[in-house]
Chain A
Amino acid sequence: MRGWLWVLVVAFLAGLFWWGMQRNPKELPSVLAKERRPAPDFTLPLLPPYRAEWGEAFRLEDHLGKKPIVLNFWASWCYPACYEEAPVLEAAWRRHRERVLFLGVNTQDKEPEALRFIAQFGLTFPQVFDPRGRVAVDYGMYGVPETFFIDGEGRVYARHAGAIDEATLEKYLKEMLP
């Protein structure tokens, strides 16, 4: 080892690991959001409380391109993140329901648990049921909760992983709405 080489090595390691500790190692970038791809279509059954208003099955294609969509993947066992963001989403839905469609996808869960969750938070935006998690794979999801923002042209604009807070939600909505 020549002279100051070892100092450089130690300094480099220090910088690298310090930086490494600041970020979340589990985080994965969203391919859909990065490339602004058109949102993958799906048809899923709606949960019973929403069938009256939205029908038996929900087809995403029917709603793409009409107005921006906030697509939220959640599960009743995802504690505490999904429990934190549910009231935030419900409040934002009530504020923007004329201009934005909020859609919840209950993924890898059981129906009674999902209904219990919905009742607990009084969620009024439509919820579909995907027990296998097939749609989650199509969206490149790596862990609940994840929220996808689909713009007015039906393209994925952004993806937020983890519980979403009001500020971030409003920010994306403002960017998507004309």
Chain B
Amino acid sequence: MRLLLLLLALSLTALAQEGPPPDLSPEVFRIARELRCPVCQGESAAESNSGVAVEMRRLIAEMLEEGKTAAEIKAFFVERYGEWILYEPPRRGVTLWVWVLPVVGLFLLGLGLFAYFRPRRPLPEELLEEAERRLKEPPA
């Protein structure tokens, strides 16, 4: 009965069975997290369960075993998919701006605050006195 159910499971899936998949060390996931899954494009290669992502993790594991560094592994994928496959936008080229603009924004914010708090012509004495008086009144 159990065998029958397992065979049923066989017919419902599309993953081929060549033998058990390889073991993946934490390092594999650390690198896979920096790559995007080409199929489930919102997820990283570590999160996605699509066939391509599974294959990418396998490749990363194999390359780590061969002694390749993380940079070389990422370059391997960039060579095939373009820079798009990197989950973190590289700090050069057209994506440089996505890093620069927040810093520019912060600078502009500083300027804005400075302009806001710059001492202006003081308000007329009578208005300030009235404001003080109202503040000292007990709350209604």
Contacts and interface: CB of A to CB of B under 8 A. Distances in A.
Contacts of A26: 41
Contacts of B73: none
B52 A140 contact: no
A132 B14 contact: no
A31 B79 contact: yes
A28 B51 contact: no
A79 B41 CA distance: 20
A38 B86 CA distance: 23
Task: Pick the most buried of A26, A32, A137, A141: most chain B CB atoms within 10 A of its CB.
Answer: A137
- Secondary structure dominating the interface of B: helix
B80 A139 contact: yes
Contact of B84 (A28, A32, A110, A143): A28
B55 A28 contact: no
B38 A141 contact: yes
Given A108-B15, A143-B38, A133 B52 contact: yes
Contacts of A25: 41
Tell me if A's interface is mostly helix, strand, loop or mixed: loop
A152 to B, nearest CB: 23
B70 interface: no
Interface string A132-163: 11101111111100000000000000000000
Interface in B71-101: 77, 79-82, 84
Interface residues of A, number: 27
A30 to B, nearest CB: 9
A109 B18 CA distance: 11
Contacts of A32: 80
A133 B51 contact: yes
A117 to B, nearest CB: 12
Interface in A56-106: 75-77
Nearest to A40: B80
A134 B59 contact: yes
B128 to A, nearest CB: 31
Contacts of B81: 28, 31, 140, 142
23 contacts: A75-B14, A76-B14, A108-B16, A109-B14, A110-B14, A110-B16, A113-B14, A131-B18, A132-B18, A132-B55, A134-B59, A136-B52, A136-B55, A137-B55, A137-B59, A137-B77, A137-B80, A139-B80, A140-B80, A140-B81, A140-B82, A142-B38, A142-B39
Interface of B: 14-18, 38-39, 41, 51-52, 55-56, 58-59, 77, 79-82, 84
Given A77-B14, A133-B51, 18 more contacts: A25-B41, A26-B41, A29-B82, A76-B14, A108-B52, A110-B14, A134-B55, A136-B52, A137-B55, A137-B59, A137-B77, A139-B80, A140-B38, A140-B80, A141-B52, A142-B81, A143-B38, A143-B39
